[in-house]
Structure 1
Amino acid sequence: MSAARRLLAAAALMTAISCGDGRLPLVLYSPHGRDLLVEIERAWEQARPEVDLRFLDMGSQEVLDRIRSERANPQADVWFGGPKVLFSRAAKEGLLQPRRPSWAETVPASARDADGHWTAVYRTPTLIVFNREAVTAEEAPADWDDLLDPRWRDEVLIRDPLASGTMRTIFGHLIARADTPEAGFEWLRSLDAQTREYVHSPALLHEKLVRQEGLVTVWEMTDILGLIDRGAPIDYRFPSSGAPVIDDAVAIVAGARHAAEAAEFVDWLGSREALLLAAREAFRLPARTDLPASQLPSWAERVQAELRPAPVDWGRLEEEGADWMQVWDRSVRGRG
């Protein structure tokens, strides 16, 4: 997000906060998109009519950058959504308030911060996506390395990774799986040669894929299932060698103006009611392990059957991922 866009977004948010209707404003920063956020807003405000839930939708890396810039005067109460590596980085910088949700023990220990700064709400698999009107399921790339086939030269679209926690996770995995980081960057340089465009927003990425301005991309499951549900001519494959599955977290912002209300909201967000709502309406896979599979929507069956989670060194991604993206931006982007 450019500096001008950040200023405009901040001005819009502050205008909304200052022009209230007497209800208590609870502000979320989130990359989750309107499909989920509107459902969450509607359900929470029905349960708590005295609260005005407000959200600002942006990439998860942009959320982290924004919370950093607002550290002296926090504007958000809750950071809702993004890979745990970004939340861990924020916790180390003192940007998150430690507080364990009531449901924290129902998610794996690897999906929650030991000191309670963040907890995963959803599991978000990554995948390969293609336009099914131009590419058959048999022709579509079955694994990461298939993206480098000459067939896909100038047909790959990529969400710009500098603003996207999802793409940082995918690129980080592709670097870390190589014998050396240098070999990983060389692989990404080959992918760069296949790439038609690095797109600045998920919405634009989806539009271009539907219009066949590119035939293949990599992204995350929930957005893609939502597009398919609305009739978009796209389909997906989970990479056969394994797909990183993002522990999609939530946290209370340090210095939040409405910390008590934020804690109550986070408790509700991980409840059975809210998780099943998110699964039904926005294709979110719960991080909780105590929900029977029979309660989940039918789409989850295909996911559970086809998904092969990749082993990911999340600690290494947390420690080295930001530097890797700087190297990628300087020496890989546009140089394939």
Structure 2
Amino acid sequence: MNIGTCIRWAVLALFVVVLFPAASMASDTKLEEKVVVYSTHGESMLELVADAFEKETGVNVEFINLKGELADRVRAEKANPQSDVMYGAPSSVYQELKAEDLFVPFTPSWADKIKPLFKDKDGYWYGTIQTPVLMFYNSEMMSKDDAPKDWWDLANPKYKNQLVFRNALSSSARATYSSLLQQFEKKGDLDGGWKFLKAVDANTKRYYGSGSLQFQAVGRKEAPLSFAVLNSVIDNKIKNKMPLEIIDAESGSPVITDGIAVIKGAKHPNAARAFVEFAGGAKAQSMLANKFNRMPTHPDAIATAPQWMGEIQFRVMDVDWGDLASKQSQWMQHWDMEIKDSGKDKK
């Protein structure tokens, strides 16, 4: 075969790959008929993503909302996985399960666009939603000058009975309490961290098991101060007309990353990878941003998200989520048993 013929064949091959990419794919990339997704996200969010994915691929999505039981369920099924994808839960949980060999790596087409903060360096999980946790206050009860400037101010006795918080069953509360403890541990003073949380507990009027009850308490002026995920604060400020003001803490605020990963041993591996590709892409993230006020990790989705997502500025707390993954469960068990409501008996 002469050089001219070789060149013509090479050009033809490139033409086929570019115009007909499916023709260049191996046969084992054919998607299975369904994909099973375990998630912490609400059913309305899951239905939106599932319906869009099914419309685009023809793959049926079976999803189960497991909330706080998600990680334990995936662990329990390690020998015989019943799910293909884990969708939701903070990055610290993904780091725990990665260490337990429960995921397989995958590199979606958009992986390079995601900041290192929002993904695993080895490709075992990716963030689909960034969730800053910020302090806020009811401006009808408290002025900006009187409001705390940093998390450490919450231990000041002047804020006694001025705080209402979520309990540690909430993933955002778990991540926040643990992140604050880690700041003390970094300085070799974990005991100081527990003393801080105990002082905060003494100032806390009540803990709530749901976010709606927490915001209702602030709205009816039970107490002016709390913390929550940013999108919930914005939701209540805009939709419910609550007089809430956000505090940009001087030492930064924890930013939780809700993730997605392919489960090791998935029975529908190709559909699982396709779901991760779709759910983490700009299209799906933009849908969740506009319909559910969830802040994207994908920069292209930020551009089409509600305006506040690109405008609100906040400092990010320096949190080692990988290190936190191995300690959070133990720390929060201690918080629940030894810290929560420990100051109430002294009243």
Q: Find the aligned partners of 1:208 and 1:24 in 2 and give their Cα distance.
A: 46
Distance 2:235 2:83 in 1: 27
Scaled by the length of structure 2, what TM-score is found? 0.78
Aligned to 1:272: 282
Structural mapping, 1:29-178, within 5 Å: 29-34=38-43, 36-48=45-57, 50-56=59-65, 58-59=67-68, 62-161=69-168, 163-178=169-184
The answer to whether the 8 Å contact 1:45/1:53 transfers is no
Q: Which amino acid is 1:262 matched to?
A: A
Structure number with greater Rg is 2
Amino acid in the other structure paired with 1:64: A
125-134 or 38-47: bigger deviation: 38-47
| Structure 1 residue ranges without an equivalent (≥5) | 1-22
Q: In the alignment, residue 340 of structure 2 is paired with which amino acid?
A: R
* Counterpart code for 1:244: P
Which residue identity lines up with residue 288 of structure 1 in the other structure? H
Residues in 1 aligned to 2:129 and 2:65: alpha-carbon distance in whole angstroms: 19
Please give the alpha-carbon distance, in whole angstroms, between the structure 2 residues aligned to 1:292 and 1:80: 18
Greater mean deviation of Cα atoms: 175-184 or 319-328: 319-328
Name the CA shift for 1:89/1:292 in 2 (closer, same or farther; >3 Å): closer
CA-to-partner distance for each residue in 1:289-314, whole Å, 9 max, x for gaps? Answer: 4x3865443112332xx311111222
**Residue 191, structure 1, aligned to residue 178, structure 2:** no
With 202-211 and 236-245 compared, the bigger mean Cα shift is at 202-211
Structure 1 263/232 Cα, relative in aligned 2: closer, same or farther at 3 Å?
farther
CA distance in 2, matches of 1:67, 1:329: 24
Partner of residue 200, structure 1: 209
CA shift digits 1:243-271 (9 cap, x unpaired): 12223211122333333222111101122
Deviation at 1:277, TM superposition (A): 1.7
**Contact 2:129–2:257 (CA<8 Å) still a contact in 1?**
yes
Q: Indicate conservation of the 8 Å contact 1:30/1:57, yes or no.
A: yes
Kept in 1: contact 2:166–2:210 (CA 8 A)? yes
Specify which of 241, 262, 266 is matched with residue 272 of structure 2.
Answer: 262
Code of the residue aligned with 1:154 in structure 2: it is: N
Distance change in 2, residues 1:292/1:115 (3 Å): closer
Q: Secondary structure at the match of 2:259?
A: strand
Point out the more displaced range, 166-175 or 84-93: 166-175
Q: Is the 8 A contact 2:218 2:225 kept in 1?
A: yes
1:312 partner letter: V
Q: Deviations over 1:213-249 (max 9, x none)?
A: 4432212112322333422515222323211222321
Q: Percent identity?
A: 30
Distance 1:87 1:128, change over 3 A: same
Please give the per-residue CA displacement for 1:109-135, whole angstroms capped at 9, x wherever unaligned. Answer: 343223322112222211013334434
1:122 touches 1:285 (CA, 8 Å); kept in 2?
yes
Residues 208, 283 of structure 1: alpha-carbon distance in 2 compared, 3 angstrom cutoff? same
Structure 2 stretches of 5 or more lacking a match?
1-31
Partners of 1:318 and 1:223 lie apart in 2 by 25
Please say which of residues 166-175 and 223-232 is displaced more in the overlay: 223-232
Q: Does 2:236 correspond to 1:227?
A: yes
TM-score normalised to the size of structure 1? 0.80
Change beyond 3 A, Cα 1:48–1:72:
same
| Alignment correspondent of 1:284 | 294
> Alignment length, in residue pairs?
308
Go from structure 1 to structure 2 and tell me whether the alpha carbon gap of 1:27 and 1:237 turns closer, same or farther (over 3 Å shift): farther
Q: State the match for 1:10 in structure 2.
A: none
In structure 1, what is the equivalent of residue 258 of structure 2?
Answer: 248
Alignment partners' CA distance in 2, 1:228 and 1:28: 32
CA distance in structure 2 between the partners assigned to 1:82 and 1:244 by the alignment: 15
1:4 match = none
Tell me the C-alpha RMSD between the 2 structures: 2.7
Structure 1 residues 84 and 159, CA gap change in structure 2 (3 angstroms): same
